[in-house]
């Protein structure tokens, strides 16, 4: 690569140059240039699938670009496979992901040195380990005893221990992936302090987040990605949020709304003052008959917690849930299912499907009694019931008893929704129903949701993909800092405005 560097390589800690990465069916990165200086905190923004993760994976060496190169501290990454990640780590790249990776039964010190415990002649030297850990924690301004077990720490403290861990060795670049998504607002300040110490020590920080208020406090500039390209890098001091939103969304324009006029009949479900500490401070709303109600909000805004509380999966301690004006706040999940509430989980694979069972049994599992004749499951009734759902929802399956695990993600999701249609649920709580499904399946799922609403079902649709909410929802409520901050009503819900309300 003989191309002249645009910026002085001496000051750049990490640089990506002309990187392109093609995955089957998607161009994840398209000729991307990216650079970050010593001691800089850079925010990285972009919608799902914009290419943020791929860019991070390039920097950590987890992904090799098809073309272009990655330079860390002046040295090009050359290896492949695990060698490349080792190389990147040696050059000083560290990443902290959303899922914490601490061993909760061990002490803070042991976690900081996980797998690389200092030892002499095969015996761990706890004293040395604790001294070094104490020093590292102090560098971040943390007052934690390194001998404390991680199990006794709060989520924020655990997050800080994760950050302390990346300080071991000589980090040059630290990548934080949505570090505040699992934190309550009050805990965020602790994290900021740690990030500022990192920057003060000359370490470059890439801060992936969409919370504008946080980004403005912590970062100087923001790089916005869109469709595998860098849409722009803006100085935060001079940029307003609208400009960043424009960069994130592009000039896609408003297309194919499935909703004309907002509709909805009588109130079926009514939530008053529901609080789930520390995520939800008290929310109230009404769900009307035949309405699709969207919940928008950033990762960690409490969407899933709210849905679980409404569905009765987590006990509701503050607030009330009324179904047809009847108080069901204290009722169990099972009772809510019986009274016509159905819920589809966010993680289809872990909580949604029973992979070895057929489409038919996955469908009728919500109510075996409907296909049973005096306690015995009737093969023909089950085939009929499942066949009916397969046709109505448009599930593509070779046979009626094909194991669900072999279907595509979109079709699995249709089965998970279909089982509640089969059960005759009136209220559907759909948590990220389009996560991880392809574009075609997405639009099919939108159509299914609209059709169910037209049949009089009431649907709560939770999505982290802002653009899909205006397409299907009659109404969208925006969740932020534990409260609903704004309501949008169809027609004409603008994605930009919705996004602005979320950030």
Q: Among residues 248, 165, 141, 259, which one has the least CA distance to residue 496?
A: 248
Three-point CA angle 495, 499, 503, nearest 5°: 175
Q: What is the contact mask toward other proteins in residues 351 to 370, using x (rule: CB under 8 A)?
A: xxxxxxxxxxx---xxxxx-
- Tell me which of 106, 396, 436, 465 binds other proteins, using CB under 8 A: 396
Residues 160-199: x where in contact with other proteins by CB under 8 A, - otherwise, as a string = ----------------------------------------
For the CB of residue 80, give the shortest distance to other proteins in the complex, in Å.
19
Q: Can residue 390 be called a binding residue for other proteins (CB under 8 A)?
A: yes
Q: Which of 402, 481, 483, 496 binds other proteins (CB under 8 A)?
A: 402
Selected binder of other proteins within 72, 142, 230, 395 (CB under 8 A): 395
- Minimum distance, C-beta of residue 404 to other proteins, in the bound complex (Å): 9
Work out whether 393 is an interface residue with other proteins (CB under 8 A).
yes
Instruction: Determine contact, residues 291/475, Cβ cutoff 8 Å.
Output: yes
**Of 107 and 425, CB closest to other proteins:** 425
Measure the CA–CA gap between 478 and 484, rounded to whole angstroms: 5
Task: Tell me the closest approach of the beta carbon of residue 462 to other proteins, in angstroms.
Answer: 15
For other proteins, the closer of residues 18 and 403 by Cβ is: 403
Cβ within 8 Å of residue 454, ≥6 positions away: 290
The reply on whether position 40 binds other proteins by CB under 8 A is no
Residues 417-456 that bind other proteins (CB under 8 A): 419, 423, 444, 447-448, 451
- Can residue 462 be called a binding residue for other proteins (CB under 8 A)? no
The answer to whether residues 146 and 133 touch, using CB atoms and an 8 Å cutoff, is yes
Instruction: Draw the binding track, 284-323, toward other proteins (x: CB under 8 A; -: no contact).
Output: -----------------------------x----------
Could you count the other beta carbons within 10 Å of the beta carbon of residue 81?
Answer: 10
User: Please, what is the minimum distance in Å from the beta carbon of residue 220 to other proteins?
Assistant: 41
Verify binding: residue 383, other proteins, rule CB under 8 A.
yes
Minimum distance between the CB of residue 453 and other proteins, rounded to whole angstroms? 14
Spatial neighbors of 365 by CB under 8 A, at least 6 apart, are 354, 357, 419
* 39, 282, 403, 436: which one binds other proteins (CB under 8 A): 403
- CB within 8 A of 330, min separation 6: which ones? 316
**Rounded Cα distance, 31 and 16, in Å:** 10
- Least distance from other proteins to the Cβ atom of residue 62, Å: 18
Q: What are phi and psi of 93, to 5 degrees?
A: -95, 130
Q: Which helix (H) or strand (E) holds 366?
A: none
Range 417-420 contact pairs with CB under 8 angstroms and sequence separation of 24 or more: 417/344, 417/393, 417/445, 417/448, 418/363, 418/389, 418/390, 418/392, 418/393, 419/342, 419/362, 419/363, 419/364, 419/365, 419/366, 419/389, 420/342, 420/343, 420/344, 420/366
Instruction: Evaluate whether 221 touches 30 at the Cβ level (below 8 Å).
Output: no
Tell me the DSSP string of 459-472. Answer: EEEE-S-TTHHHHH
Question: Does 103 participate in binding other proteins (rule CB under 8 A)?
Answer: no
CB contact at 8 A, 174 and 203: yes
Binding track, positions 330-349, relative to other proteins; x by CB under 8 A: ---xx--xx----xxx----
Number of residues this chain uses to bind other proteins (CB under 8 A): 56
Cβ nearer to other proteins, comparing 461 with 484: 461
**Which CB, 130 or 432, lies closer to other proteins?**
432
Candidates 62-70, 92-100, 120-128, 386-394 — which segment interacts with other proteins by CB under 8 A? 386-394
Q: Is 124 in the site for other proteins (CB under 8 A)?
A: no
**Which CB, 144 or 313, lies closer to other proteins?**
313
Binds other proteins by CB under 8 A, chosen from 252, 379, 438, 492: 379
Phi-psi region of 176 (alpha: psi -120 to 50; beta: other; left: phi over 0): beta
Among 49, 319, 394, 436, binds other proteins (CB under 8 A): 394
Which of 432, 425, 43, 5 lies closest to 234, judged by CA? 43
Distance between CA 44 and CA 222 in Å, rounded?
Answer: 6
CA dihedral 434, 395, 352, 445 (to 10 degrees): 20
Q: Shortest Cβ distance from residue 104 to other proteins (Å)?
A: 17
CB 117, min distance to other proteins, A: 29
Q: Considering only CA atoms, which of 412, 457, 454 is closest in space to residue 435?
A: 412
List interacting residues with other proteins (CB under 8 A).
313, 333-334, 337-338, 343-345, 350-361, 365-369, 372, 375-377, 379-380, 382-383, 387, 390-403, 405-406, 419, 423, 444, 447-448, 451
């Amino acid at each position: 690569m003989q191309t002249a560097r645009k910026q002085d390589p001496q000051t750049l800690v990490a640089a990506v140059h002309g990187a392109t990465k093609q995955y089957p069916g998607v161009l994840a990165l398209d000729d991307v240039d990216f650079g970050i200086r010593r001691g800089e905190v850079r925010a990285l923004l972009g919608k799902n699938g914009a290419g943020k993760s791929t860019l991070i994976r390039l920097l950590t060496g987890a992904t090799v670009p098809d073309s272009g190169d990655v330079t860390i501290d002046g040295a090009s990454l050359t290896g492949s496979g695990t060698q490349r990640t080792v190389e990147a780590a040696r050059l000083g790249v560290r990443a902290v992901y959303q899922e914490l990776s601490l061993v909760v039964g061990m002490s803070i010190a042991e976690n900081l040195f996980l797998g690389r415990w200092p030892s002499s002649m095969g015996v761990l030297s706890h004293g040395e380990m604790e001294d070094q850990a104490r020093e590292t924690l102090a560098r971040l301004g943390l007052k934690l005893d390194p001998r404390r077990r991680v199990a006794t720490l709060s989520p924020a403290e655990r997050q800080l221990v994760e950050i302390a861990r990346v300080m071991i060795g000589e980090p040059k670049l630290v990548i934080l992936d949505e570090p505040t998504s699992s934190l309550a607002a009050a805990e965020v300040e602790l994290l900021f302090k740690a990030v500022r110490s990192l920057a003060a020590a000359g370490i470059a920080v890439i801060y992936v987040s969409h919370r504008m208020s946080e980004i403005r406090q912590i970062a100087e500039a923001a790089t916005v990605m869109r469709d595998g390209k860098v849409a722009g890098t803006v100085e935060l001091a001079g940029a307003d949020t609208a400009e960043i939103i424009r960069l994130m969304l592009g000039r896609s324009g408003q297309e194919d709304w499935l909703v004309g006029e907002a509709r909805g009949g009588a109130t079926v479900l009514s939530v008053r003052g529901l609080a789930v500490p520390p995520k939800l401070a008290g929310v109230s709303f009404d769900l009307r008959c035949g309405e699709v109600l969207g919940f928008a909000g950033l990762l960690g805004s409490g969407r899933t917690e709210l849905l679980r509380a409404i569905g009765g999966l987590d006990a509701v301690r503050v607030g009330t849930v009324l179904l047809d004006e009847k108080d069901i706040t204290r009722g169990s999940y099972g009772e809510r299912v019986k009274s016509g509430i159905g819920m589809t989980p966010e993680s289809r694979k872990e909580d949604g499907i029973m992979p070895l069972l057929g489409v038919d049994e996955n469908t009728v599992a919500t109510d075996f009694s409907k296909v049973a004749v005096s306690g015995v499951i009737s093969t023909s009734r089950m085939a009929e019931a499942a066949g009916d759902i397969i046709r109505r929802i448009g599930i593509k399956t070779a046979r009626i008893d094909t194991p669900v695990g072999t279907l595509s993600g979109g079709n699995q999701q249709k089965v998970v929704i279909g089982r509640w249609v089969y059960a005759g649920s009136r209220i559907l709580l759909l948590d990220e129903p389009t996560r991880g499904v392809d574009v075609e399946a997405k639009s099919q799922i939108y159509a299914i949701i609209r059709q169910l609403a037209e049949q009089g079902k009431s649907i709560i649709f939770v999505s982290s993909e802002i653009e899909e909410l205006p397409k299907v929802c009659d109404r969208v409520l925006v969740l932020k800092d534990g409260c609903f901050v704004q309501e949008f009503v169809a027609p004409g819900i603008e994605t930009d405005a919705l996004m602005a309300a979320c950030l």
